Amino acid sequence: MDRLIEAIEDKQNPSVIGLDPTPAVVPAAVMEAYSIEVEENVDTDDNVEATAAAAAYFEYNRAIIDAVYDIVPAVKPQIAMYEALGPAGIDCYTMTCEYARSRGLYVIGDVKRGDIGSTAAAYAHHLSGFNGSDIWYEDAVTVNPYLGSDGIEPFMQAAQETDRDLFILVRTSNPSSSQLQELELASGEHVYEHVADLVESWGASSIGRFGYSRAGAVVGATHPEEGARLRERMPHTFFLVPGYGAQGGTAQSVAGMFDRNGSGAIVNSSRGIIGAWRSDERYSDEMEPEDALAIVAENARAAAADMRDQLRVALA
Amino acid sequence: MDRLIEAIEDKQNPSVIGLDPTPAVVPAAVMEAYSIEVEENVDTDDNVEATAAAAAYFEYNRAIIDAVYDIVPAVKPQIAMYEALGPAGIDCYTMTCEYARSRGLYVIGDVKRGDIGSTAAAYAHHLSGFNGSDIWYEDAVTVNPYLGSDGIEPFMQAAQETDRDLFILVRTSNPSSSQLQELELASGEHVYEHVADLVESWGASSIGRFGYSRAGAVVGATHPEEGARLRERMPHTFFLVPGYGAQGGTAQSVAGMFDRNGSGAIVNSSRGIIGAWRSDERYSDEMEPEDALAIVAENARAAAADMRDQLRVALA
């Protein structure tokens, strides 16, 4: 986790921007421009609409990355938004990761993979690449713990070999997360607390020079008290905190997830940053795509700076 | 689940072949042939080795599909094996799904996705396609329950709209599945039993004409007693049973996961079928790729027929 912590120190900003494009959050002026361009250039047996959407998503992501790379340490593309476009979306996902890397950003691939050991070993190529070449351009991935340690170990091994990290789901930000994660065990603990202890143990042999292991945890901003207790319970586990902004989390609600040095967590916001342009009255669907992207970029930078400043105040 | 059950009836065979290519299970004679071909034809800035492996995987899958499509109802490509090659592997995955469909097979995409509601809605495009066009060519996908109903509902809705299905992880086949799934709750149940009840309830509004809902369950062949109890507990839930063959499951150990009519489950074997060629002494690394694929195909068909016959005996 050292590279991420250094990047956060460098920017004095413990936040990460979720690059989660959807047809609703990418301006119509951009979506339509690429739709026309791709129709004119692509073989007819490809899925033209998906290819056009993927091209628009990439330009949108690039505009945002260019606008924020000097003030944020990391981005977190959510692969589901790209899988929604099929293989063309996957190309856009890897291009986005590669571009963010080229701008010096730490890339958290929000893929939430998880499977039995032999299969997790295949997924671990997200971190280790193929025959020594990078294929996904992620610095960390998110992983699901439902299958136990078999499904985690291959990722941990790949992380260790390639100086990368993972973030394992512990307490997710969504309302129904309680259905499974909050169940009370015979031991008196909740399921998520047991998972927290597993994560702390899975990371134990990979603790870096800031005291945090390569096995991070996903802890939603929507659970501030639980998050603060998990901070105590998991002293060597770095937190990835989703749910800020659109889902209801605030700088105050995440403050307890940081350690006494103001480290130990990175907070994600997606729609609040990448969709900030939607309240800008200068935008219209009829404008040129580059003008729309300039408005996206300007608003994303302002929203990212605002989030950074709010976190700085809350952690001061 | 009606389309799958009809396909099983039609072939009189409740088994599914896992299309899980790896460098270890695809003959070297095939891997190397495509390596040379792709090197000569691909732009240098692509990842040539991954593209070559993806081409070899597709020819291997096609040979197996052609060899078994008339005796098995379904195939289950494990997307991790394809993600291990990056975007080129994803192209191979969708081509494999599309080809299997063209041969009349029901395609279970073993993707084990799971996320918060808005993200699960994006993943549900695996089933619903993009703007009405198919992009993944899957008839069902596997889903992880750790995030609760928010993460399931978008898949259920897409399944209902497109006459497709899902299989939700309940009790996985791997050794460490016990670390989380077998925990005892304060209520006296185990976690996987609670998940089983959730799955049964998630499916309740989608029960088809054979009495099974669109929300299936993944129950590993390595847990025969638990599987038999789950069969009683989940009367409207169809089971996808991995872990047969290489992982230790047998026709006897899965018999209890079927209902009294010999329906209610489909059993997966991957390495036992697609790797059966490895004990064929006629194979050598020096042979032509088409000769190697003929040996793969012949052994896969024999192993698939053998598995079918063993299941028929165990269920008689």
CA distance B67 to B277: 13
pLDDT value of residue A39: 72
Percent of chain B with pLDDT over 70: 98
B179 contacts A149? CB cut-off 8 A = yes
Who among B85, B113, B174 is closest to A130 (CB)?
A: B85
- Which among B49, B84, B146 has CB closest to A144? B146
Considering chain A, what is the average pLDDT of its residues? 95
Per the CB < 8 Å rule, is A47 touching B123? no
CB B264 within 8 A of CB B231: yes
Q: What is the DSSP string of B218-240?
A: EE-TT-HHHHHHHHHH-TT--EE
CB contacts of B188 in chain A (<8 Å) are: 186
Q: Residue B171 pLDDT > 90, yes or no?
A: yes
Cβ neighbours of residue A80 closer than 8 Å, sequence gap 6 or more: A110, B113, B115, B119, B120, B122, B123
Given a contact cutoff of 8 angstroms between Cβ atoms, the answer to whether B72 and B7 are in contact is no
Q: What is the pLDDT of residues A180-233, one digit of tens each?
A: 999 999 999 999 999 999 999 999 999 999 999 999 999 999 899 999 999 999
Q: Which of A112, A190, A194, A312 is catalytic?
A: A112
User: Is pLDDT of A119 > 70?
Assistant: yes
Average pLDDT, integer, range B283-306: 97
Residue A241: name the closest of A249, B312, B308 by CA: A249
Cβ within 8 Å, pair B180-A144: no
Mean pLDDT over B185-213 rounds to 97
Residues of chain B with C-beta less than 8 angstroms from the C-beta of A178? 148
CB-based contact B50:B89 (threshold 8 Å): yes
Please identify which of the residues B112, B190, B278, B312 carries the catalytic annotation: B112
- Contact call for residues B217 and B234 (beta carbons, < 8 A): yes
Query: A94 vs chain B: nearest CA distance in angstroms?
Result: 8
Whether residue A123 is predicted with pLDDT greater than 60 in this model: the reply is yes
Q: Do B133 and A91 touch (CB under 8 A)?
A: no
Q: Give chain A's domains with CATH numbers.
A: 2-315 (3.20.20.70)
Give the closest-approach CA distance of B213 to chain A in angstroms.
21
Joined tokens for residue B232: 């009683």
Write down the pLDDT at residue B44: 56
Question: Using one digit for the tens of pLDDT, what is the confidence trace for A38-95?
Answer: 777 766 556 888 999 999 999 999 999 999 999 999 999 999 999 999 999 999 999 9
Q: State the angle between helix axes of A48-68 and A289-315 in degrees (0 to 180), rounded to the nearest 10.
A: 50
CB atoms within 10 A of CB A71: 16
CA distance linking residue A68 with residue A269, whole number of Å: 13
B116: closest CA of chain A, how far (Å):
6
* pLDDT tens digit sequence for B30-70: 999 887 777 777 665 568 889 999 999 999 999 999 999 99
* Whether A94 and B87 lie within 8 Å, measured CB to CB: yes
Q: Cβ contact (<8 Å) for A185 and B188?
A: no
B-interface mutation test, from A19, A49, A174, most B Cβ less than 10 A away: A174
Chain A residues touching B78 at Cβ < 8 A: 115, 119, 122
pLDDT of residue A246: 77
How much of chain A, in percent, has pLDDT values that exceed 90? 90
At B48 the pLDDT is 87
Of A116, A122, A133, the CB nearest to B81: A122
Task: Give how far the C-alpha of residue B275 lies from the chain's centroid of Cα atoms, to the nearest Å.
Answer: 16
Contact A144, A110 (CB under 8 A): no
Structure tokens at A310: 């709010």
The whole-angstrom distance between A248's CA and the closest CA on chain B is 14
- The model's confidence at residue A5, banded by pLDDT at 50, 70 and 90, is very high
Give the position of tokens 């997966």: B268
In this structure, the number of other CB atoms found within 10 A of the CB of residue A204 comes to 11
Task: Please tell me which residue, B132 or A311, carries the higher pLDDT value.
Answer: A311
Which residue from B85, B86, B147 is facing A177, i.e. has the nearest CB? B147
Segment B153-166, tens digit of pLDDT: 999 999 999 999 99
Is A194's CB within 8 Å of B180's CB? yes
Of A53, A145, A187, which is closest to B180 when you measure between CB atoms?
A145
Residues in chain A within 8 Å Cβ distance of B146: 144-146, 169, 172, 180-181
Amino acid letter for position B127: L
Is B11 among the catalytic positions?
no
- What confidence score (pLDDT) does residue A226 get? 94
What is the ipTM score, two decimals? 0.95
Q: How many CB pairs under 8 A join A and B?
A: 207
| B197: closest CA of chain A, how far (Å) | 11
Distances (CA, A) of A234 to A167, A258, B195: 13, 11, 26
